[in-house]
Structure formats: structure tokens, C-alpha cells
Homo-oligomer: A and B are copies of this chain.
Amino acid sequence: MNVKVTQENLHNALTSVSRVASQRSALPILSNILLHTEDKSLFLTATNLEIAIRVRVAGKVEKDGRLAVPARLLNDFISSLPKGTLSLAKTKQFSLKVSMKNYESTINGFDPEEYPSIPAKAAGEMIKVESTKLKQALQQTTLAASTDEARQTLTGVYIHTANDHLYMVATDSYRLAEKKLAANKKSLSHNVPATTMQEVLRNLTDSSEEKVEITLSENQAVFDIGPAVIISRLIDGKYPDYKQIIPASSETTAEVDREEFIAVVRVASLFAKESAGSITLKVQEDAQEISVEAVASQVGENTSSTPATVHGDGEVSLNSRYLLDALQVMTSEKVVFSLSGRHNPCVLKPLEKPADYLHLIMPLKS
């Protein structure tokens, strides 16, 4: 191997792939990054066997080659170098020599044949989503996925088609987030691990010019994001019929400024630590306000309120963390908070019509 690349390009590519290379895997080779050349380009690959990421690095390949190099040392080393052109060469048996003006290092690596093979991209349905739209959709849904491996189906973000539109959904059974994306007529029903989605998120930029290609086949999701390709397994099993728990209408609705709602809930949550974050919201038509109280507390008492456009009275107890999480991933200036008594799910939506996001939170008993 003999390759010339800039420090900036290599550093950016390493930032993406080295997150996936685990230091704690039972298979020590997975703490390495595979460097290989193909079609006159340098590629970096890392995998944790659930997900693989491969990034093309712009540069000049003078001689082909292949080797595995410790991810952490390579990443720390390249990020410490000054800007400029680097020369990468394979020396000795499996060592990588990195040289640039004033710097010469050799990093001991491993036989690339020990590195697991990365599954090829399978044929499947391909959809294109604008990078910024996908970023928002993932930020607004992944938070609601379960982290409990015993409930594997709920640890995914469910991509599917309904009413000729693409939807992304996640739920841990205490809360549910549903994002409506662009019109789409392909029949899709794929459950992508939320951990994959978090890796996709980290690779998304804010440039709305770029489109991400998502290829969904029976067992695989592939995300083409500029120079990076992320390949992930899918989660087996039928996703629950979540639509049935979304209330068709509500007894009480309040239109409220999102930032102000966040402020009052955050203050109340400080007094709700003993009760695991439980707070009580009172929506009052007479006062045209939402008031928030921390449930009985040894440390003190708190009542905060914020003005709202209210129809109908109502009261409900919620986990303040879930409510804050939801309000913080929303982007609209105003939100609609709806409830139907103390025992039914609450719903948050942006005020704008048509609302493309819905966040449902189950009430707490109190």
C-alpha cells in the first residue's frame, strides 16, 4: 500500500469509522480499522458485527494494499497531526508507516485476513431522503425507542409506508414518536436498530442539498451518505400495531409556547426527584393556562404556570423527563398538548398544519 491523503480528509473519515470500532469486543480484531484500496481509492472500514461503516477517503493511491490498524491509536495520532499531506505505506509485515514533514511513525497492525468480511449490499427498495429531513426525523424518533434488549422489537425505528407516505416510528411502550416523511408508494415495513440510526445521525450533515439513499432489503438496511456507507442488520418480528393507541380525539387541548412549556416543566422536575420525575399538569380553560406541580416532595413544593390557549379542563400526571425529551426534539414555536383525563395517553404535536410529528406519552398513576 502506498497512498497520499490530506490530514483533514483522513481525520474526518477516521472520526466516522472509529466510533464503530469497539474497544470492548470479545473479538479483539474489531478494535481495528481495515484500510484497503479499491478502484484507485482508499477505504476505511469498521464493524461491530451489527453494523458496518465504510468511508471513502479522497486521495491518491500509488500502490494497492490492505491491512488492519488499531482504531484508537490511529485516530488519536492522525487527529494530533498538523494539516498537510500524509503518506501512508505498508511496511514490515502488517505495519502502517505514516509520514509527513517533521513526523514519521510506524503503527503495528494486523493481518487483514483476520478482519471479518462485510456483507455486500443486497438488492432492495431504494428511497431518497433529504439529509436535513432525515436528521430531524431521526432526532425526533430514536429517543422513544426502548433500550431494553429483552424487548427487541421495540429497540428499533420502524420505517413503513401508510397512506402513500413514508413514516418513521419508535416506542418503548411508555411513549411513542411518529414522524411523517415524504410521499412514497413503495410498500415498506422494516425495523432498523435505533443504535444504527444513532450512527446514521452522527454522519448526517446540515446540508439540505445532500440526499441520503436508503436501501431496504429483507435482512439489511444500507445508508449511502456522501462518502460513507452504513450497512445494518434489521430487527426480526412484527412491529406492534401502534396506530390503535393513538387517540383519535381529545377532551382537552392547550396551545402553548414550546420554550415556556420547557421552562416550567424543567423547574417542576427539580422538585420531582423523589417521585422519579412524576409531575402533575393542570390544564385550565378559565385561567387559560397550564400549571405544573411536582408531586408531594420532602425537599419543598413548586407550582409553575404558563399561559396557553385552552379548550376544556383536564389534569394528568406524567414523567417529566419524557415530557422534556419530547418538547426538546420538537422545533415549532408553539405546540398542541392534548389529553383526555388522568388515564389516557397525552399527545404533543406541532401547532402548524399539517402536523408531521406526533409524540404520545402514557400517563402515570397518581
Contacts and interface: CB of A to CB of B under 8 A. Distances in A.
B263 A82 contact: yes
Interface stretch (A202-210, A266-274, A325-333): A266-274
A73 B302 contact: no
A105 B271 contact: yes
A236 interface: no
A267 B73 contact: no
A105 B263 contact: no
Given A103-B267, A267-B105, A73 B305 contact: no
A80 B270 contact: yes
Contacts of A267: 77, 80-81, 103, 105
A355 B8 CA distance: 37
Contacts of A77: 267, 270-271
Given A80-B267, A80-B270, A82-B263, A73 B103 contact: no
A328 B23 CA distance: 29
Contacts of A270: 73, 76-77, 80
A300 B104 CA distance: 11
A299 B108 contact: yes
A105 B301 contact: yes
Contact of A80 (B70, B103, B105, B266): B266
Interface string A56-85: 000000000000001001001100111000
Interface in A91-141: 95, 102-108
Contacts of A80: 263, 266-267, 270
A158 B305 CA distance: 53
Nearest to A262: B80
A225 B263 CA distance: 32
Interface string A251-294: 00000000000011011001100000000000000000000000
13 contacts: A73-B299, A77-B267, A77-B270, A80-B266, A82-B263, A102-B264, A102-B304, A103-B264, A104-B302, A105-B267, A106-B300, A107-B300, A108-B298
